[in-house]
Structure 1
Amino acid sequence: MLRTVVLSVLSVHLCWAQNPWEPVPEQGYGLGKHNEFLKYTSEHKDQVKAVFIGASITEYWQQEGKQYWNGFAAKGAVNYGIGGDQTTGVLWRIQNKELDGLHPKVIVVGSGPGENFMGSHTSTSWSDVLRAHKEIITELRAKSPQSKLIVVGHTPYGDHVSNEKSKLINAELKKVADDKTVFYIDISSHLTDASGKQLDSMFRTDHVHLSTAGYKVWSDQMGPLFDRLMQ
């Protein structure tokens, strides 16, 4: 049976003594959510058909994106997104039983930077964040080899420096996809105008996270692939 894993845009919890591709245990809110996911995994192993894993952009499917998330949930999708998470935290969660015993057809991972190179951490290189994303893909393939991965590229950011780094990462992430076990989608062109500037209607006022209209774009653009891989 075709198994699919979709990767959704990541914002990840980072200990700055660590590299972005090295796992760091969750703390505070992230640890609480991780424990919730462990409980859900333990109690619903046979019901989970798809997993969305990542940071805030993933978690907010159940906020701004709720009306579109319900369509994925009806097909057996669960949301393992944690707002404020970073690549280091996502890696740690994969290695610490969040997916153990699950056999999803699809895993969706979002690849947003979160604090990886924004805010006070702008010196973090795009190549280091790319390495972290590739490590997440490797970990997911090892943890759930029967699944298909959908890698969702970085969405546009209001900050120019972060946006340019994201474009470089997306160009390299696209090369990882083989359209057999790993699939890549980039919805950026649907969220910007002809000059590449964010469409205000697609984003929250922070110019990072998607609005309800932005989640509709994501749902519309990913939906056909998701449904095909779920068969």
Structure 2
Amino acid sequence: MTKKTFLLLFTWLTAVTLYAQQDKSPKYSTYYYQRASLFESLPVTSEDIIFIGNSITDGGEWHELFNNPHVKNRGISGDTTQGVFDRLDAIVNGQPAKIFLMIGINNVPQNEPADTIAAGIRLIVQKIKQVSPETQIYVQSLLPVTTYYNKFYEHTCHWKEIPEINQKIKTVTEKEQVQYIDLFSHFVDAEGQMQKQYTNDGLHLLGKGYLLWKEIITPYL
């Protein structure tokens, strides 16, 4: 074997090894798989009201807020539209009574345009309708964010884009004939960012924020 042939073979083997390692890398975070595996083991029944989303949903003590054991939290911190779609079977196979969905803010740092985020939500809605046609679907708008705290800047720097994303989401709900819930207008300040009384990091909610959220959606429960 010549030196040149050896080098070519070595380069090829290195590339194959690196590709194999990349192919085996997890698609989502370890926390995603921890939560998703738990949700696969927990029952969902036709009496249940399910909250699906990312860290903002994950942080809510929904059954306590509504004093209802049938209200169940299926939020996962860091989740995206694709992540929700990929774990939807564990929820919709139980044919829940209602699903409240809020997802998309973690797609924004990936530079996904509003149309792409809305399309991901549409796929989620369509799958719910297909597998569990009796489930009432409530798609909630994204919340505003604020740059005030200089945290989560990869999210909060996109604050001007959120109204457009919400408009695209609303259009999806109209086409799919499901309920759209506007949370954004209740949390936004005069400049278009999250009111500081509801957050201490610009992205996630304080207790007062969850209480307002509860107040907004109570009529739909």
Higher helix content, 1 or 2: 2
Distance 1:179 1:202, change over 3 A: farther
Q: Distance in 1 between matches of 2:167 and 2:125?
A: 16
- 1:179, distance to aligned residue in structure 2 (A): 11
Output one character per residue of 1:11-57: Cα deviation in whole Å (capped at 9) or x when no partner.
Answer: xxxxxx9xxxxxx954411111111101112xxx4475111111111
Relative contact order higher in (CA < 8 Å, ≥ 6 apart): 1
Which residue is equivalent to 2:108?
Answer: 117
SS in 1 for 2:90: coil
Aligned counterpart in structure 2 of residue 219 of structure 1, from 210, 214, 218? 214
SS in 2 for 1:141: helix
Which residue is equivalent to 2:146?
Answer: 158
Contact 1:54 1:80 in 2 (8 A): yes
Which residue is equivalent to 1:56?
Answer: 55
**Mapping of residues 13-24 of structure 1, within 5 Å:** none
Q: Distance in 1 between matches of 2:207 and 2:80?
A: 23
Distance 1:105 1:28, change over 3 A: same
Letter in 2 for 1:89: G
Which residue is equivalent to 1:12?
Answer: none
- 1:158, distance to aligned residue in structure 2 (A): 1.7
Aligned counterpart in structure 1 of residue 86 of structure 2, from 68, 78, 92? 92
- 1:126, distance to aligned residue in structure 2 (A): 2.0
Contact 1:25 1:92 in 2 (8 A): no
> Percent sequence identity over matched residues?
25
Which residue is equivalent to 2:74?
Answer: 80
Distance 1:25 1:143, change over 3 A: farther
**TM-score, with normalisation over the residues of structure 1?**
0.73
**TM-score, with normalisation over the residues of structure 2?**
0.76
1:30 aligns with 2:32: yes
- 1:111, distance to aligned residue in structure 2 (A): 2.5
**Mapping of residues 99-110 of structure 1, within 5 Å:** 99-110=91-102
Q: Distance in 2 between matches of 1:48 and 1:26?
A: 30
Contact 1:53 1:79 in 2 (8 A): yes
Q: Distance in 1 between matches of 2:136 and 2:45?
A: 18
Aligned counterpart in structure 2 of residue 172 of structure 1, from 168, 171, 192? 168
SS in 2 for 1:193: coil
Output one character per residue of 1:150-184: Cα deviation in whole Å (capped at 9) or x when no partner.
Answer: 11101001256522222112112222335996111
Counting matched residue pairs gives: 189
